[in-house]
Every structure is written in structure tokens, then in C-alpha cells.
Amino acid sequence: MTDSLLIVMYHYVRPIAGSRYPTLKGLELDNFRGQLDFLEQHYRIVRTQDVIAAMRGEGDLPSRAALLTFDDGYMDHYDHVLPELVARGMQGSFFPPACAVLDGRVLDVNKIHFVLASGVDPRQLVCEIFALLDVHRVRHDLKPNADYYRLYSNESRYDTPDVTFIKRILQKGLPQALRSEIVDQLFQRFVTADEKGFAESLYMGKAQLRELHDAGMCIGSHGDQHRWLNTLSPVEQRQEIERSLDFLGELGVPTQDWVMCYPYGGYNASLLEILREKQCAMGLTVEVGLADLSRNDPLSLPRLDTNDVPFSAAAGLDAFQWAATSVAMPEPEEGA
């Protein structure tokens, strides 16, 4: 038996090279297949039920246990992930934000991804954002552009300073309403004016999610509107959770012993209180690391990004730094 659990976090999984968005930051489908080969060879893929039972002392996980988690409810997961998992007899856990499915809206975070992948030069985008900030400066009492750039362009292990700035200022750095307005304008200009049509091709609908559930996959909550839940009042947090649980109920997914995946990894004490009251059994963060079921709170388990796990069985276990448990923690990603 073991208390160590590798939880792998996935977002986009699709053929990317040669697609309309060749620079989209996602996992190339062939690498996904190679990674499953690696995991199949060296790990045992477990189900959420097994992990919940182990956390309660009602069962043991095998050594080198791994759980596969897929955030944001992308159609990628239906088109490309589901067939692979079914063919290999593996369970995955999927976390669709309710509003993306129910309202035909594209999440701001996804609009930002596709604006960045549209082929427009990031420098040009930075200038466009500066120009929009100039328009709104007085009304929103904004700081000078150079201050924002200094604040949000700090080095990241994934992106250039311009891209880091674009993501951070649009994801978190401005008041919510203004942020959404600017993201909308950039999305319409550089990606499409047909948001509803784009949403329908980007996210799974209820029919696909029901198919996943029927195939033995786990469907959990990713909130309603993909907000930073740690920035909301307890009343707003409760609305987010209740709407997402109603949505899971509509899909026929049990809402007892369910799994929460925090958008952007954001949670706090008042949210945890609501989750306990609602009988949430497991919470997934974006903290980087292997989960240790004997030490971690069941509602705040760390994960590893797919990019931190080898893409081929040929890599061998010694190519995977996390196969040995005591290594330094890299900076967490600020993605979706």
C-alpha cells in the first residue's frame, strides 16, 4: 500500500501542430497517447472512488497510483481523451464549468488563450491593451501602463514577459467588469464575433457529458462561472457551488461524495466550510506536487501538470523527477 498519489492535470488535449491554432498551449494528442503509455507501464491508474476510500481508511491504493484529471470541459476530452481511456480501461475525472455548458459562453480564460493563439504578435496585443487602458483610465482610476507592465510581466517558467503580462492583467489584474470588456473586444477582433458557435465547438454539451458518465468516467464540479472562488463572498461562493451541483444533478451525476476542482486553484476557509457541508469528498488544487493521502487535507490535494510527466514509455521511470518524492517545488502555473 502507499499514501502517495500522482494526480495529473490536463487542459487542452488535441492535435495542435497544423491546426488553426498551432501555438495554443495545450497537449499534443500524440504526446497524450505517449504519456498514457508511460503511465500504463509504470503506474496504476486509479478511480476517484478508490482515492476517496483510501483517504477514509476504507481501502488501499496500489503503489505508484495515478489519477487523471481534465479541467474545463473541452470537447477535446470527448473527441480525443474518452476513446483513449475507454480503450485502455482507465477512468478519468472531468470538470466542466456549468456556465460554459448551460449558457453557451466562452470563459474569459479561454478567450485569452485563443486571442494569444490567433497569430497576433504579443507585442501588438500589449499595445492594444495599453490603448484600451488609456480609454478607461479616468473612469476606473487606473494606474499608468508602465506600472501595470512592471507589476505583471515578471518572469514565469512558461511564458515570455509580454505573454505573462497579457495573461495576468486580463485574468486578474483589472476590475472584473473592465477585464471582461477588454477580453471580449480582443476576442471579437482577433478570434470570432460568434461566441455561441465557438462555445459549442469548444466545450462538451450535456449529451457528451452524460456519455462520459455512462462510460464510467467521473464528472465533478469546476464551479459555475470559472471565477477565482477565493475572491468571492461566502454568499457568492455558495451560489457558485449550488449552481454547479444543480448542473451535475441534471447530468445524473451523484452529488454526494463529489469532487471539486478549484478554478485557478483558488479556495479559502469559507469555501471549504461550504464544501464540507455539501458533502464534497475531494478537492483538487493547482499546487505542484505529489499528493500524500496521509498528510494532505482531502479538500486540497496537489497535482502535477501533464508537462511535468514524460510523454513516452521509452523515457523510463528515471526520466521522471517526481518518481522520487523528495524534490524541490517549482513555481505553480497560473493557467486555467
CA distance 21 to 91: 29
Contacts of 305 (CB under 8 A, 6+ apart): 8, 9, 288, 333
Q: Strands 218-219, 92-95: parallel, antiparallel or unpaired by DSSP?
A: parallel
Kindly state the smallest distance separating residue 335's Cβ from Zn ion, in Å. Answer: 8
Stretch that binds Zn ion, among 48-56, 65-73, 98-106, 323-331 (CB under 5 A): 65-73
Contacts (Cβ under 8 Å, ≥6 apart) of 185: 132
Of 71 and 128, CB closest to Zn ion: 71
335 binds Zn ion (CB under 5 A): no
CB of 289 to Zn ion, least distance (A): 19
Residues 6+ apart with CB under 8 A from 95: 69, 70, 71, 72, 73, 219, 220, 221, 222, 259, 261, 284
Residue partners of 250: CB distance under 8 A and separation at least 6: 206
Burial 16-30 (b: 16+ CB within 10 A, else e): beeeebeebbbbbbe
Is 336 an interacting residue with respect to Zn ion (CB under 5 A)?
A: yes
To Zn ion, the closest distance from the beta carbon of 60 in angstroms equals: 31
Per CB under 5 A, the segment of 246-254, 256-264, 310-318, 326-334 that binds Zn ion is: 256-264
Q: Which of 14, 55, 71, 223 binds Zn ion (CB under 5 A)?
A: 71
List 26, 263, 283, 335, residue binding Zn ion (CB under 5 A): 263
State yes or no: residue 108 binds Zn ion (CB under 5 A). Answer: no
Residue type, 107: L
Distances (CA, A) of 153 to 166, 181, 289, 323: 8, 21, 25, 33
Window contacting Zn ion (CB under 5 A); options: 67-75, 128-136, 302-310, 312-320: 67-75
C-alpha to C-alpha distance for 202 and 204, rounded to whole angstroms: 7
Q: Contact between 265 and Zn ion (CB under 5 A)?
A: no
* Segment near Zn ion (CB under 5 A); pick from 47-55, 255-263, 276-284, 307-315: 255-263
- Contact call for residue 72 and Zn ion (CB under 5 A): yes
Cell of 220: 465533478
Nearer to Zn ion, 10 or 198 (CB): 10
Specify the stretch interacting with Zn ion by CB under 5 A; choose among 162-170, 248-256, 259-267, 281-289. 259-267
With respect to Zn ion, which residue has the nearer C-beta, 116 or 336?
336
Residues that bind Zn ion (CB under 5 A): 71-72, 263, 336
